């Protein structure tokens, strides 16, 4: 005689544990399906790399090579060389990165920041191909920072800006006593820009604050005043990739592979009454949400630039909606503006500016998971903090060497 299993016999703790195990099982099955789809796509792509691809028009091959670089700059280098877009030389590659407008600026920045010898050689040529002679430091920085997108990793920023400072001092030898002085002032200027224009920063840097972080440098006060006024009047314009095009043409399998965090959350509906379970993926400073983990297209995309995240407590929640959903947090505009998002229309196509919310609310399955999401989102939103990290490390190194703002060229 066989005994049947009934959930009625379980204690509340056992039932909750069973529910969690079932949920985890479904999640693993979804992930297995994603991996199977990735394998299928990879096999299909390998087939396109057969001799048949030699019959493709040259323009098509070159377009595919650029797309490969934009998707994965580490692997895309050889594709660019094979497509005869560049020669296998650092100088030619640097010129291509500087002149080609179809490349993602973020991919260019990440490539330039790598510590491999070829990348370092390309970076040196990339900087030397630009002319800063006779320019004020702020204008030279504006020109330089418009040619790529500064990466978020501290060590990459360090290498790129150090090379810029060396080049600027070579072309303008009478302004600074040492390239380290120029380097440090560049970072202080970027910090100033972040402080004045990043909506996540609550306290704006005053002129006295800027003076305090630069007072150890052997720099004329007039230059400090000029830099502060220039940034206050006009922020740096960091280049952006064509966001909506990138989202429409993104590789969903790579998105899942490079995700900073992913998992199930409940998203509050437009009418504030309903909550829909969605699979969320945090990647590339955007929050994507899908109907299922194996969905090909996202239901929506929320870019995180200029956005803040916070926990929503019961006392802060709408009495008719969020108060009934624990572990809720929200993405919102600190200026009470519409959060710029992309949503699918009735035809299933992503459209730019499809969302009309001043905030997006999500509910996590538990307290720890909610805080995990908030932390991950804050890290993505505040990637500019890498700049401050580099500046502090360089300042400490210079002080230890006894030459902070030193006197030798």
Question: Which pLDDT does position 52 carry in this prediction?
Answer: 42
The predicted model gives 60-70 an average pLDDT of 88
192-203 confidence digits (pLDDT tens): 998 898 766 768
Confidence of residue 406 (pLDDT cuts 50, 70, 90): very low
Across 184-229, the runs of DSSP E, i.e. the strands, are: none
Q: Which of 16-30, 122-136, 351-365, 388-402 has the highest mean pLDDT?
A: 122-136
Q: Which of 134-138, 250-254, 334-338 has the highest mean pLDDT?
A: 134-138
Average pLDDT over the chain reads: 82
CA angle 68, 69, 70 (to 5 degrees): 90
392 is catalytic: no
Tokens 């100033």 belong to 192
CATH code for the part of the protein at 243-250+258-365: 2.30.29.30
Which of 153, 170, 352, 389 does the annotation list as catalytic? 153
The predicted model gives 346-358 an average pLDDT of 65
**Residue of 396, 386, 330, 381 lying closest to 358 (CA atoms):** 330
Question: Which pLDDT does position 354 carry in this prediction?
Answer: 58
Quick one: tokens of 272?
Answer: 């504030």
pLDDT at 165 over 90: yes
Domain spanning 56-240+385-401: CATH superfamily:
Arf Nucleotide-binding Site Opener,domain 2 (1.10.1000.11)
Question: Which pLDDT does position 129 carry in this prediction?
Answer: 97
314-329 confidence digits (pLDDT tens): 554 444 444 468 999 9
Name the residue ranges covered by the structural domains of the chain: 56-240+385-401, 243-250+258-365
Share of the chain above pLDDT 70, in %: 76
**Worst-scoring range by mean pLDDT, 21-30, 269-278, 381-390, 399-408?**
399-408
87 or 57, greater pLDDT = 87
pTM exceeding the 0.85 threshold for the entire prediction: no
Q: Assess contact for 104 and 93: CB atoms under 8 A.
A: no
């Amino acid at each position: 005689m066989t005994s049947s299993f009934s959930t009625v016999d379980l204690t509340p703790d056992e039932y909750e544990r069973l529910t969690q195990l079932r949920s985890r099982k479904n999640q693993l099955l979804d992930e297995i399906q994603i991996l199977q789809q990735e394998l299928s796509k990879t096999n299909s792509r390998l087939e396109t790399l057969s001799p048949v691809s030699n019959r493709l028009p040259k323009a098509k091959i070159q377009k595919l090579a650029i797309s490969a670089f934009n998707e994965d700059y580490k692997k895309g280098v050889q594709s660019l060389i094979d497509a005869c877009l560049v020669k296998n030389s650092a100088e030619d590659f640097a010129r291509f990165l500087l002149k080609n407008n179809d490349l993602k600026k973020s991919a260019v920045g990440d490539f330039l920041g790598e510590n491999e010898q070829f990348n370092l050689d390309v970076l040196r040529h990339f900087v030397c191909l630009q002319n800063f002679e006779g320019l004020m430091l702020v204008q030279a920085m504006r020109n330089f920072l418009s040619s790529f997108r500064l990466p978020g990793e501290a060590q990459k920023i360090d290498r790129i800006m150090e090379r810029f400072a060396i080049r600027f001092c070579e072309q303008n030898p009478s302004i600074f006593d040492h390239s380290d002085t120029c380097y440090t002032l560049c970072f202080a200027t970027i910090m100033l820009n972040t402080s004045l224009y990043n909506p996540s920063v609550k306290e704006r840097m005053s002129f006295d604050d800027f003076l305090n972080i630069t007072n150890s440098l052997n720099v004329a006060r007039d230059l400090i005043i000029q830099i502060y006024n220039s940034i206050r009047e006009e922020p740096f314009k960091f280049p952006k990739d064509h966001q909506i095009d990138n989202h429409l043409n993104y590789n969903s399998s790579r998105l899942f592979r490079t995700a900073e965090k992913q998992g199930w959350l409940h998203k509050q509906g437009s009418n504030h009454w309903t909550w829909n379970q969605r699979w969320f993926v945090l990647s590339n400073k955007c929050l994507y949400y899908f109907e299922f983990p194996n969905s090909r297209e996202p239901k929506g995309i929320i870019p995180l630039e200029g956005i803040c995240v916070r926990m929503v407590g019961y006392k802060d929640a709408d009495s008719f909606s969020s108060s009934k959903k624990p572990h809720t947090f929200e993405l919102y505009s600190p200026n009470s503006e519409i959060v710029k998002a992309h949503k699918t229309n009735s035809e299933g196509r992503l459209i730019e500016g499809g969302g009309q919310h001043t905030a997006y609310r999500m509910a996590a399955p538990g307290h720890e998971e909610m805080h995990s999401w908030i932390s991950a989102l804050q890290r993505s939103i505040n990637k500019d903090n890498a700049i401050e990290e580099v500046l502090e490390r360089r300042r400490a190194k210079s002080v230890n060497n006894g030459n902070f703002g030193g006197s030798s060229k």
